[in-house]
Amino acid sequence: MIAFDECCYYPASREYAETAIKRTHQWAERCLRQNQKSKIKNQKFGKGTQALYGVVQGGVYEDLRKESAKFIGGLPFTGIAIGGVSVGESKEEARSVLDWVVPHLPGEKPRHLLGVGEIDDIFTLVEKGIDSFDCVMPTRLGRMGHLLIQNSKFKIQDSRWTIDITKLRYAKDKNPIDERCGCFVCQNYSRAYINHLFRARELLAYRLATYHNLYFLEKLVEKIRLSIKEGTFLDFKKEWL
């Protein structure tokens, strides 16, 4: 579970950012108190409890971010979430926020970044000490017909890591979405068939596309974990970026 927070828009004024972190910190304390009551109640009835994460806010203001990181990191949350990034600021600014925040978080607690999950971002987040993240990107792209691929494999692509399967060029393409993916969709359906489904507006199109994109990212993160264990992360990163 994620405690309530007030996410600063971009570009928010310093005055607004200060008000937002004050409210976020107050909500964090209230969430912890209520969660403790729920734990006692659940234990009484033999039920388990969920992990509760606090949220670091502060906009793009370094001192506010550090203040929030220290405050939230000092509370008895199970883990720490970092919010208010990828809300309009540049990727460079988002990375700066992580540089300010991560050193002030407790090392023994998992760190989650809210709302970020593009492929190049994932590698950056891992390098900066982020353990998990969430993003609507794979499902949103899937519903639009944008399917994830490993870019270096294909000569024709529509963006750095996707193909737009709705385009006419795929109408007779008998290849899988991505030869190296290995998911259920890539093993059983051609690009041409999925192109047909989207053009016919069959609901199966959105399901298959979404399934593929989710599987693709899950496997990517699994490979990143393995590369870290094997000490080959930098080589793996070069292969992708």
Q: Kindly report, residue by residue over 20-45, the tens digit of the pLDDT.
A: 999 999 999 999 999 998 888 877 77
Average pLDDT over residues 224-236: 95
Average pLDDT over residues 79-104: 89
* 56/130 same-domain check: yes
Lowest mean pLDDT among 19-28, 96-105, 116-125: 116-125
* 20/131 same-domain check: yes
Average pLDDT over residues 62-76: 97
Per the domain annotation, does 230 fall within a domain? no
Q: Which of 136, 163, 139, 165 lies closest to 149 in space, CA to CA?
A: 163
Torsion of CA 222, 226, 229, 232, to 10 degrees: -120
* 109/192 same-domain check: no
Could you give the percent of the chain with pLDDT greater than 70? 96
* 97/66 same-domain check: yes
- Domains held by the chain: number: 2
pTM: 0.86
Indicate if the pLDDT at residue 8 is higher than 80: yes
Per the domain annotation, does 196 fall within a domain? yes
* 116/178 same-domain check: no
Average pLDDT over residues 46-75: 93
* 36/131 same-domain check: yes
Per the domain annotation, does 236 fall within a domain? no
Model confidence band, residue 61 (pLDDT cutoffs 50, 70, 90) = very high
Indicate if the pLDDT at residue 47 is higher than 80: no
Indicate if the pLDDT at residue 159 is higher than 80: no
Per the domain annotation, does 227 fall within a domain? no
Per the domain annotation, does 100 fall within a domain? yes
Q: Lay out the sheet containing 111-114: strands in order across.
A: 53-56, 79-82, 111-114, 132-134
User: What is the span of the domain harbouring residue 120?
Assistant: 14-135
